[in-house]
Chains A and B, each alone.
Chain A
Amino acid sequence: MSIQEYIVETKNLVKHYNKGEVKAVNGLDLKVKRGEIYAFIGANGAGKTTALDMISGVLYPTSGTIIVDGLEIPRERKRMAHMIGVAPQDVSVYSDLTVKENIMFFADLYRLEKAQSNSRMKELLGVLKLEEKENELVRNLSGGMKRRVSIACALIHDPKLLLFDEATVGVDPVLRQWFWKYFKELSKKGTTLIITSHVMDEAEKADRIGLIRAGVLIEEGTPAELKEKYRVQTIEEVFLKLAGDEFINE
């Protein structure tokens, strides 16, 4: 069996609310290649999170198909669970557990061997610069640290697909820079990352960018391709050209 080029493929993906009155995602066709960093950008309310939730199997689509690594989602979502790591927009970790307890809780959900999870946790605490906070209650940590804990929980089982929803929101520029360096390292090792963002300069660091507007993919390409196509200097300008009205109307 040949390995498919795309790890994620959605076809005519639709999610409607209130009997079709609200069209959060409205016919999304998305193809994400293995090992790439795919930035999914759009204004607030454009449908990024809804699309990501459907890909991760958390939200069932109204219609359309989702294939993740050959598995049909949501039907085979529990088979997919071992291979994906999700860091939601809200820092969803347990604030009354320590950093270590949070990470080990997720390790146990993936039923990792004790030795394996211990060494993996140590590695992640080092990479994410959390060693000194290992036994600290999450509630006592800063926003940036909480986000790092959330990312560590998503990475504990070494997934091949990472879905990060606004992973760097509220993070200071230094830490954001550092996050992207780490994302590149993961990508080099073969991990695919889909990262939603409404911060345009972040998207420039991705391998490819998908621009979503009103639940539809309106443009896609590498940062260089997009800038060249619209004859602008930054992705922000591309975004403003394509989605500016919507942004202003919000």
Chain B
Amino acid sequence: MSDIDFTNFSSSRMLTVSKRVLRQITRDRRTFGMIIFMPLLIMLVFGIALSGEIKNIAIVVENQDTDTSEAAGIVIKNALDSDTRVSLKEGTYSSAINEIEDGKLSAAILIPADFTTNLQQKAAGGPDVTLEIRIYIDGTDPLIRANIMAALQDALSDALGDQGVQFDETLAHDGAEQSGLDVAIPAVMGFVLTFLVLLLSSLTMVRERIGGTQYRLYTTPLNKMELLSGYVLALTFFGFIEVVSILTISVFLFGATVAGNFTLLMLAAFMYAIVHVLLAVFLSNFAENELQAMQMVPIIALPSMALSGMLVPVDSLPVVAQNISNFVPLTYGIRLFEGIMLKGFDLGNLWLDFLKLGVFLLVFFVLSVLTVKDHNES
């Protein structure tokens, strides 16, 4: 700017502007409340969510090496049992494979019956003895896989020292093995959808209400359901465009894997978008202006990020946070996107998560219907 002139700079005029802005913000009680409340809430949620390490990864350990009470297999299993990173479930190696393929378990470990015998032979200098443990593991989440392997290594080293145990590792989901980026994309997709759909929808709704045009609509034959459905349809259309663009960028630019059915993925993303359109329609009732509407978005999106398993697996969250995560739509969005994209799941594996997302859709729809207005209530 050519007319910047510091010689005539008046600090009192500057303060006049500052005072006026501060007065306006503090007078908007909701905005002022959010300025105080938002950092508290977000730091609290993130603090709780990120306080724990990875823990309670569900695995099955089938130990066939039980000839004596001091068998190495028993020692290894006990060591794993006391490791908080993993949580040992009942079951056999072969039965666990199906559960891993269904996404209910992360790994199955088989310690063979001759493990101690082989160990003793090897210690005695036996020539062709291989010490082997079989592992069937879900390789679609590198973080979880690394933690299981680290827990196993620690258990082996505690029990045996360095004995050169080999792992016969089989990857679940037809050998699917993902990089950090692959694994991040479904969760990021869910988060971006949450953020953008909420932002666009709530701003549109508030602008519609404060623009004075809604008053006029009340005088026309347009009824509540027509009005609500009209909004939802239009906003869903934009949600759909966002779904398409996010998927296109993920797949074509970042080379994200879509191991499962692409149409099912579109359906999941579309349904997820509608849930957030309806949530925004409902929440917009509590915003008096566009600033307030904009502040609502991070209030929903950031805690969702912390509580949905996006940053750390839900099983590793504190119990309270785990319970709350059941009420976070992003939890199911991520499960669906990860399931379809990384694990190649179909409706057979995912129907329950679809159903839960459907429950959110229904609840937010009812809340929207109950709160949408067709006359001035003041």
Binding site for B on A (CB under 8 A): 17, 53, 56-60, 74, 77-78, 81-82, 84, 86, 88, 90-95, 106, 109-111, 153
Contact = CB atoms under 8 A, between A and B. Distances in A.
A94 B220 CA distance: 15
A106 B215 contact: no
Interface string B208-231: 000111011111111100000000
26 contacts: A57-B218, A57-B219, A57-B375, A58-B215, A58-B375, A58-B376, A59-B376, A60-B375, A78-B221, A78-B223, A81-B219, A84-B219, A86-B216, A86-B219, A88-B216, A90-B212, A92-B211, A92-B215, A92-B216, A94-B211, A94-B213, A109-B220, A109-B221, A109-B222, A110-B220, A111-B221
Interface in B237-259: none
B378 interface: yes
Given A78-B221, A109-B217, 12 more contacts: A58-B376, A60-B375, A60-B377, A77-B375, A84-B219, A88-B212, A92-B212, A92-B215, A93-B213, A109-B220, A109-B221, A110-B220
With most chain A CB atoms within 10 A of its CB, the pick from B217, B220, B377 is B220
Contacts of B217: 109
A82 B377 CA distance: 22
Nearest to B208: A94
Nearest to B377: A60
Closest 3 CB pairs of A and B: A81-B221, A86-B219, A90-B212
Contacts of A81: 219-221
A69 to B, nearest CB: 15
A84 B216 CA distance: 11
Interface of B: 211-213, 215-223, 375-378
Chain B interface, >50% SS class: loop
Contact of B220 (A53, A59, A90, A106): A106
Contacts of A88: 212, 215-216
A240 to B, nearest CB: 32
Nearest to A94: B213
A8 to B, nearest CB: 14
A55 to B, nearest CB: 10
A90 B220 CA distance: 17
A153 B221 contact: no
Contacts of B223: 78
Given A53-B376, A92-B212, A58 B219 contact: yes
With most chain B CB atoms within 10 A of its CB, the pick from A17, A56, A92, A153 is A92
Contacts of A92: 211-213, 215-216
A144 B51 CA distance: 62
A57 B211 CA distance: 19
A110 B223 CA distance: 12
A81 B217 CA distance: 10
A111 B221 CA distance: 9
A110 B229 CA distance: 17
Contacts of A58: 215, 218-219, 375-376
A109 B223 CA distance: 10
Nearest to A85: B219
Contacts of A60: 375, 377
Contact of B216 (A82, A95, A110, A153): A153
A49 to B, nearest CB: 11
A109 B378 CA distance: 25
B66 to A, nearest CB: 75
With most chain B CB atoms within 10 A of its CB, the pick from A58, A81, A110 is A58
Contacts of B221: 78, 81-82, 109-111
Contacts of B376: 53, 58-59
B375 A59 contact: yes
Contacts of B222: 109
A25 to B, nearest CB: 13
Contacts of B219: 56-58, 81, 84, 86
Nearest to A77: B375
Contacts of A17: 378
Contacts of B211: 92, 94-95
B21 to A, nearest CB: 26
A110 B217 CA distance: 11
A147 B211 CA distance: 15
A17 B378 CA distance: 8
A90 B215 CA distance: 10
B220 A74 contact: no
A101 to B, nearest CB: 13
A56 B220 CA distance: 10
A106 B226 CA distance: 14
Nearest to B221: A81
Contacts of B377: 60
